[in-house]
Amino acid sequence: MSLLDNKNILITGGSRGIGKSIVEVLVKNGANVGFTFTSSDLAANNICKELNSKDAKCIAYKSDASKFDQCEKLVNSFLDDFETIDVLINNAGITKDNLLMRMSEEDFDKVIEVNLKSVFNMTKACQRVFLKNRRGSIINMSSVVGVKGNAGQSNYAASKSGIIGFSKSVAQELGSRNIRCNVIAPGFIKTEMTDNLSESIIEGWTENIPLKRPGESIDVANLCLFLASDLSSYITGQVINVDGGLLT
Ligand code: NAD
């Protein structure tokens, strides 16, 4: 018996980085997982090939989480394939960093659409299923930057703070129906997203982390495993940092 046996989980942005680790951890713990990707069909199909087994199913869907109609279609396809949804993980995210002085309106809007509007789109599309089942767990990926802010990331910080307010409201709105909504706030995690940071920025961040090292995708995935499972059934409306102590 595995921790996530019989759980059907939908996650956005699962073909690389933190999302890919989450997909792997969930499937290895018995869940059936559908994940979205936006560009590389090959990478997505390879993940499915590797993870599909007689005990757990893994399917990739090409879908843009920032588009409301695509999210509706995605949830319908997922229901055709898996019958129901037990857990939604909103992981998709991008950065378009710049000082406010140089930030274009386009870059502000794009980050809000992909990081924040996507969370509304997916939660709205899954809500009817959770309400019908009278259970569900929603896990939204914010960031320590959404809690603390960060110079050069006002668009990203606004989107990630927005996720926290949205999630706390959803937790209060849907708690009476046994639907939980929690937020993960990762600190500095080594992925493709952080690959293009300069050495000096990485050193500066690491110096301020009590554990004195960046986190790994698996550190975030392990918290997802807990929040997706029934071990966390009395936890909702929380923001949990995975940051090596950065915000303490
Ligand atoms: P990443 O760039 O490696 O992965 C992001 C994923 O989001 C990719 O799979 C990408 O395809 C997907 N995505 C982007 N736009 C999308 C769209 N419109 N629709 C659907 N999917 C889309 O980044 P990561 O480091 O793995 O980050 C994953 C999440 O964790 C993001 O929300 C990010 O903001 C958050 N986060 C990351 C860190 C970090 O240090 N890496 C820290 C805090 C928070």
Q: Which amino acid is at 7?
A: K
Per-residue confidence (pLDDT) for residue 213, from 0 to 100: 95
* Cα 154 to ligand 1 centroid, rounded to whole Å: 17
179-213 per-residue burial string, b: 16 or more CB within 10 A, e: under 16:
bbbbbbbbbbbbbeeeeebeeeeeeebeeebeeee
Question: How many other β-carbons are positioned within 10 Å of the β-carbon of residue 245?
Answer: 12
Reduced to 3 states (helix: H, G, I; strand: E, B; else coil), residue 191 is coil
Residue with the two structure tokens 């550190």: 219
* Cα 201 to ligand 1 centroid, rounded to whole Å: 19
pLDDT tens by residue, 76-89 = 999 999 999 999 99
- Catalytic residue (choose from 156, 166, 188, 205): 156
pLDDT band at 193 (very low <50, low <70, confident <90, very high): confident
CATH code 3.40.50.720 for 8-240:
yes
Ligand 1: residue whose CA is nearest its atom 31: 93
Give me 235's structure tokens: 């936890």
pLDDT band at 72 (very low <50, low <70, confident <90, very high): very high
Per-residue confidence (pLDDT) for residue 55, from 0 to 100: 80
Cross-strand partners of 34: 10, 59
Dist. CA 89–CA 123, nearest whole Å = 9
Distance from the Cα of residue 79 to its chain's centroid: 20
Closest CA to 201 of 185, 214, 219, 217: 214
Ligand 1: residue whose CA is nearest its atom 41: 189
Average pLDDT across the chain, whole number: 96
* Cα 75 to ligand 1 centroid, rounded to whole Å: 20
128-143 per-residue burial string, b: 16 or more CB within 10 A, e: under 16:
ebbeeeebbbbbbbbb
Cα–Cα separations (whole angstroms), residue 106 to 7, 37, 56, 99, 168: 39, 22, 41, 14, 28
Q: Indicate the top mutation candidate among 70, 122, 191 to test ligand 1's pocket, ranked by most ligand atoms within 8 A of CB.
A: 191
Q: Where are the domains of the chain?
A: 8-240
Establish whether 156 is a catalytic residue: yes
Per-residue confidence (pLDDT) for residue 104, from 0 to 100: 98
Residue with the two structure tokens 């309106």: 105
Closest CA to 126 of 115, 136, 140: 136
pLDDT tens by residue, 20-69 = 999 999 999 999 999 999 998 999 999 999 999 888 899 999 999 999 99
Per-residue confidence (pLDDT) for residue 126, from 0 to 100: 98
Per-residue confidence (pLDDT) for residue 148, from 0 to 100: 97
pLDDT at position 195 over 90: no
